[in-house]
Structures are given as C-alpha cells and as structure tokens.
Structure 1
Amino acid sequence: MPHLTVYARENDLARREAELIGGLIEAVVDVYGEWAREIAVVMLIGVPDNRWGAATRAPRVQFGIKEAAFEQPDMVGRLAAGVTDALVTQFGEQTRAATEIEFVGTRDERTATGGVLNGRVGT
C-alpha cells in the first residue's frame, strides 16, 4: 500500500490540500494502475513557518512502499518523477530542484493490517 507523507510549510499548503492530494494519488495510479486508487494514502503535514528550519520552501515527501517495488525496473524513478510533478503543479516550478522524496521499503512481514501481520499464512 503506497503511503505518502508530505511535509510542507503550513502557509504553502493552505487552500491547496484537495488538489495536492488528488495530484499525488494520480501520480501513484499512473505507475501502479487504477487498482491503487483505493489503497493509496496521502497525509499532509503542515509545519508553521517558525518551525521550518530548511533554507528552501520545497516540500519533503516520505513515500512508504513495499520493498518489492525496488525490484521493478524504473518503477521508483517513475514514482519520483510523477510525485515531483504533482508537487510542482501546486507549489511552483521553483520548488522542483529542491523537492526531496525518501522512499522507504517495507517487507510484508514488517507490516500489519487489522492487527494481523501481513505475509503470514495462519496464526
């Protein structure tokens, strides 16, 4: 299940939330396929200006994906390009060069859904 957590300055997020979430989900769907629309999760974390220590206003994304995605040729690169494009659409071209995406891969047995470890047969 793709999980995107976007950290951005609170003032930069204001009134852009719905469009940003929609654009990020479309970026995921463009790579994974339509089936991913229902399972993609996007969380926007607004940071007050007085708590933002970076010199740039560019957002930062932590993108949680299944570890197996790293084995797919070009998948992570396509996700990086699509997510960056979605962010640039909302925050402006000046943020492209400084936008950072961290991909965090997780094996099934290191996640749980509904209190049950994923990737396990019977318990």
Structure 2
Amino acid sequence: MPHLLVHTLDRDLDGREADLIATITDAIVAVYGDWAREHVVVQLIGVPPGRWGVGGKPAVNPAPRVMFGIRDGVFSRPDGPEILGRLATGVTDAIATTIGEHVRKGTTIEFVGAPDGRTAIGGALVTY
C-alpha cells in the first residue's frame, strides 16, 4: 500500500488539494498498474508560513517534502532502482504540475520501507 505524506506550505495547497491527490495517485498507478489505485493513500499536510525551518532559520519558500511508505521488498529487487526512479519522477512531476514548476528542483521524496508483518489494518497484521 503506497502511503504518501506530503508536507508543503498552506498557500501551495490552497484550492489544489483534489488535483494534487489525483495527480499523485495517477503517478503511482502509472508505475504499479490500475490495481493499486484503491490502495494509494495521500495525506496533504499544509504548513503555515514561518513554521518550516531550514538551516536553523524559517524557510521562505520551501519545496514540498514527501515521505513515501512502500513495501521494503522493492529495495532488494533487481528492478528496484528503476521502480523507485519512476515513482520519484512521477510524484515530482505531479507536484510540480499542480503546485508550480518553482518547487520541482527542491522537492524531496524519502522512501521508507515497511517489512512484511509490520503493517496493520483494522487491528490485524497484514502480510504480503
């Protein structure tokens, strides 16, 4: 289950929430296939100006930061780097298309792996 937490400035989200969720989901589906659409979770977290710091100072125009939860098995697959590259490109494209090209260069995506048996849904561990 791809799970994305997208942190960006509130003003970058204003009125773009539905489009951003849709374009990010489409980017994931382009890599995984249509079966994944119902499993993609996108959470948008808007940060007010002045509440985002870089280098010990408030950031003026920080680019979005994405924590991308993914099954950790992808990291050991022979095609893992290709898959991660396609996901990174697709999500960055979705963000830049929706928010604006000015955020492309600084958009950060961190892939966080979840091993089998470390995800639970409805109170039950899920194994794949």
The TM-score, its normalising length taken from structure 1, stands at: 0.92
CA–CA separation in structure 1 for the residues paired with 2:127 and 2:21: 29
The residue that corresponds to 1:17 in the other structure is 17
- 2:75 match: 70
1:29 aligned counterpart, secondary structure = helix
Q: Is 1:98 the counterpart of 2:103 in the alignment?
A: no
Q: Distance in 2 between matches of 1:36 and 1:105?
A: 17
Are 1:37 and 2:37 counterparts?
yes
Alpha-carbon distance between aligned partners in 2 of 1:109 and 1:98, rounded to the nearest angstrom: 34
Uncovered stretches (5+) of structure 1, i.e. residues with no partner? none
When you count helix as a share of all residues, which structure comes out higher?
1
Identity %: 55
Please list every run of at least 4 consecutive aligned residues from structure 1 whose deviation after the TM superposition is greater than 2 angstroms. 54-57
Counterpart Cα distance in 2 of 1:81 and 1:95: 13
Computed over aligned residues only, the root mean square deviation of the Cα atoms, in angstroms, reads 1.4
Distance in 2 between the 1:102 and 1:35 partners? 23
Q: Which runs of 5+ in 2 are unaligned?
A: none
Q: Deviations over 1:3-23 (max 9, x none)?
A: 011000011110000000000
Question: What is the TM-score when the length of structure 2 is the normalising length?
Answer: 0.88
